[in-house]
Amino acid sequence: MNIQLPGKAATFQANQREQAEKRRAQLGVEARSWYRITNVASDEAEVMLYDEIGGWFGATADQFIADLRGVTAPNLRVRVNSPGGSVFEGIAIANALRSHPANVTVQVDGIAASIASVIAMAGDRIEMSPNTMLMIHDASGLCMGNAQDMAEMGELLDLISDNIADAYAARAGGTRAEWRARMQAETWYLPDDAVTAGLADQAITAPKAADPVEPDEDDEPDMARAFDLAAYGYTGPRREQPKAETGLTEDIRSLIGEEVATQLRAAVTPPAEATAPAPAAEQPAQEPETDASAEEPTPEPPAADPVDDWAGLVAALIPDDTGDWSALVSNLTEPDTSSSAATA
């Protein structure tokens, strides 16, 4: 298609570069490089477009093209993260990528907006990384002059926008008018939307998180292991030792004293000789039988089986015996007149 440029369009790009050079000279800065070309493998080179394209402080397209001629790898990956920039610099870069003999893959890493989206259309394959965006809009510019200058500038901007719309239509299909309508609305595309619109070939999906794996006991991290307190003398939680069972015997000893308890045991325990059966030769003669109706002894209640040592000790104390037992415990039961008088 033949494009008839306005009269001042021929010097438009030259004026832009001249003004940029003057501006940088006034500020005392040098043009910064907005791209980087590296050889990542023997068969692939990588181009990074991670800044504004051209513009007041960016390098011009002729520098980029000169470096691109040095790439001899069969594959070229162009990674784009740019808000756009100079229209004519961007078109020159896009045409340089189209004419390069390598297989060109454009990968959008962040945003490809404005003229950066036109550069993306130059790839043999276009990939949208996860959560990236692509934006298209009409061209814009600055003008200073009279009404005729303003009219010529408006005509030039419409012509540039139609030219950009043709680039989208050549890649995705459709007509210039359809893409101009989208550009005038400033349309933003997410990865899947760009693929649906035909502006990209693939929306790269984010890798899914791997399923959690239960850690092996042998591979347990050091921070998850128990802290060794043995160095500080810790031997584990204290366990309450079972208390020794103290029967009533120990309680009565604490009340009446060891000496009294010993006498009490001696008093109630029959001697071994008395409990042993007498030999048959020494058995006393049997008493003559008496009349059963004359006098019958009062039957004594059967002694309870001792259930423990204490029961055995006090079994003989159950009868009402005021003999030795009364003498032993009298000092515990009779009031002390001297102490009573002291406390009266």
Q: Which helix (H) or strand (E) holds 95?
A: helix 87-99
Q: What fold, for 17-137+186-203?
A: 2-enoyl-CoA Hydratase; Chain A, domain 1 (3.90.226)
DSSP state of 181: H
Provide the residue ranges of all domains of the chain, joining segments of one domain with +: 17-137+186-203
> From CA 322, how far away is CA 325, in angstroms rounded?
6
- Note the pLDDT of residue 26: 76
| Range with the poorest average pLDDT among 120-129, 140-149, 226-235, 271-280 | 271-280
pLDDT > 90 fraction of the chain, expressed in percent and rounded:
38
Q: Locate 190 and state its tokens.
A: 């997410």
Is pTM beyond 0.85? Reply is: no
The pLDDT score that the predictor gives to residue 1 is: 32
Pairwise CA distance, residues 16 & 241, whole Å: 95
Look up residue 134 and give its two tokens.
């692509």
CA dist., res. 322 & res. 108, Å (int): 115
What mean pLDDT do residues 35-53 have? 86
| Angle, vertex CA 310, rays to CA 308 and CA 311, nearest 5 | 70
Give the pLDDT band of residue 194 (cuts 50, 70, 90): very high
7 pLDDT above the threshold of 70: no
CA separation for the pair 175, 183 (Å, rounded) = 12
- Strand, coil or helix: 38: strand
Task: Name the residue among 32, 24, 41, 171 with its Cα closest to residue 112.
Answer: 171
pLDDT of amino acid 38: 82
Q: What is the pLDDT of residue 54?
A: 80
SS (H, E, C) 232-275: HCCCCCCCCCCCCCCCHHHHHHHHHCHHHHHHHHHHHCCCHHHH
Phi, psi of 297 (to 5 degrees): -70, 150
What is the Cα Rg of the chain in Å? 57
Is pLDDT above 70 for 300?
no
130 vs 1, residue with greater confidence: 130
Question: Nearest 5 degrees, angle CA 34-CA 38-CA 203?
Answer: 75
Mean pLDDT rounded to a whole number for the chain: 76
- In whole angstroms, give the CA distance from residue 60 to residue 18: 11
pLDDT surpassing 80 at residue 320 = no
In this prediction, residue 340 carries a pLDDT of: 43
Which is it for the CA torsion 130, 73, 52, 6, positive or negative?
Answer: negative
